[in-house]
Amino acid sequence: MGVLNVTPDSFSDGGKFNRLDLALKHIDSMLENGADIIDIGGESTKPGSDPVSIDEELNRVIPIINEVKKTNNDILISVDTYKSVVAKEAIKAGVDIINDISGLAFDEDMAPLLAKNDIPVIIMHIQGKPKTMQQNIFYNELINDIKKYFKKRCDHAIKSGIKKSNIILDPGIGFGKTFNHNYKLLNSLEIFKDMAYPLLIGPSRKAFIGDALNLPPDERVEGTIATVVAGILNGANIVRVHDVKENKRAITVTENILAAK
């Protein structure tokens, strides 16, 4: 899954792809380099970020979906949003997946909308909201607490009419987690496999990598690759990354290692 942030303030690539032509060029590049899914985000959800208006988010993401689907309807597009109004318009434009950082918790209309339209959803774990999620982080036991959260959110999704086969889980690396929590999650992904849902991870260029290496976001490619490989070896099915070419190469080698068992 290749990341396209059409925001001025994303932590890694804010402001780089705000123009439609630049966004489309970047999508083409990611697809050429092996991305299977393009995840488009119109609101930064980095720690400390403020939400944007619905109109602003729509203006950022819908024109891109329209252009991509007009060119090739087979390209899989995910939209990173927790707002049902944005999701509704994205679905009209042909989006294939909704990536909801709130796990369907921030907007009560999201789950029924996705059920009605038979749209797959990524249910992510988050503690708090992006503005304050890195403040007062507390878990009784990290993995068990996240599993309980997943059960609650998946039960809600299924009761709302979302098919179990349309649910993907994301443990939310970097969302209400400490440095150690993020590494423990990567090392514990297999524990979530008994829930019988596909697993997505999004470690790309995040602070826990930068803190380990003392490097800024644009110099965290190698660190990201290490987390992606570890994630796949521990059970991740989808990896969300900025640097598609480099990670795709590492994934190809990793898959060959696993296939040779």
Clarify whether 60 is annotated catalytic. Answer: no
* Least confident piece of the model among 11-15, 64-68, 101-105, 160-164: 11-15
Q: How far, in Å, CA of 179 to CA of 184, rounded?
A: 9
Neighbours of 71 (CB within 10 A): 11
Q: Phi, psi at residue 228, to the nearest 5°?
A: -65, -45
Given the residues 83, 153, 240, 248, the one annotated as active site? 240
User: pLDDT grade, residue 13 (50/70/90)?
Assistant: low
pLDDT at residue 19, as a whole number? 84
For a pLDDT cut of 70, what percent of the chain falls above it? Answer: 97
* pLDDT number for residue 12: 54
Provide the pLDDT for residue 7: 84
Q: pLDDT value at position 59?
A: 94
Confidence of residue 139 (pLDDT cuts 50, 70, 90): very high
- Of 9-23, 29-43, 138-152, 168-182, which range is least confident? 9-23
Whether residue 18 has pLDDT greater than 80: no
Separation of alpha carbons 212 and 198, rounded Å: 28
Rounded Cα–Cα distance for residues 80 and 85 (Å): 13
Amino acid 15: pLDDT: 57
H or E stretch at 169: strand 167-170
Which residues does 128 contact at the CB level (< 8 Å), separation at least 6? 135, 176
Mean pLDDT of the 169-182 span: 98
229: left (phi over 0), alpha (psi -120 to 50) or beta: alpha
CATH number of 2-259: 3.20.20.20
Cβ neighbours of residue 196 under 8 Å, at least 6 residues apart? Answer: none
Q: Where are the domains of the chain?
A: 2-259
**Close Cβ partners of 250 (under 8 Å, ≥ 6 residues apart):** 225, 228, 229
Average pLDDT over residues 232-256: 98
DSSP codes, 223-251? HHHHHHHHHHHTT-SEE-BS-HHHHHHHH
240 belongs to the catalytic site: yes
DSSP 166: G
Supply the pLDDT for residue 49: 86
* pTM confidence score: 0.94
Out of 205, 206, 220, 248, the active site residue is: 206
Q: Are 54 and 86 contacting, i.e. CB atoms less than 8 angstroms apart?
A: yes
Nearest residue to 169 via CA among 237, 115, 117, 116: 237
Model pLDDT for residues 38-66, shown as the tens digit of each residue? 999 999 898 888 899 999 999 999 999 99
Mean pLDDT across the chain: 95
